[in-house]
Structure 1
């Protein structure tokens, strides 16, 4: 069962959104498998791993967090991702 899910609107192309996500996740030392349609990702934090998936349905990316550290709230993850994609809104 997913621990949290949310959607973020964007004005860029689906390819640009996927590339930006790949850059952010791999730049943070995480793993990213996916394309402009859908994919999976994981990234380590000092509190534990965050694992999730995404589906892009232009102009929205739907993100599901499947696993996260107990001490990391869904709202914090969503806030970070919204901030990151804000330049594409």
Structure 2
């Protein structure tokens, strides 16, 4: 009779279905927590990448400033030395 009433489906007690619902709910909650944690980690990683890129750009700017400063100092030194050599040869 039970098979005819349930259309051939096995009988599940109310306790079994409640436990199944609870376990499914727990699994979904854990998955949601995992997704949230992964999203948070991804956002932290992306933020770190952005910060890292900004820091690298700033370091590159500082390096370029140093290079230009060295070029200016060397160029000015050469001009001064050539000027001194010119006046030394004239006198």
TM-score of the superposition, structure 1-length normalised?
A: 0.20
Q: Larger % of helix: which?
A: 2
TM-score of the superposition, structure 2-length normalised?
A: 0.19
Rg comparison, structure with higher value = 2
Q: Larger % of strand: which?
A: 1
Choose between structure 1 and 2 for higher RCO, CA contacts under 8 A separated by at least 6 residues.
1
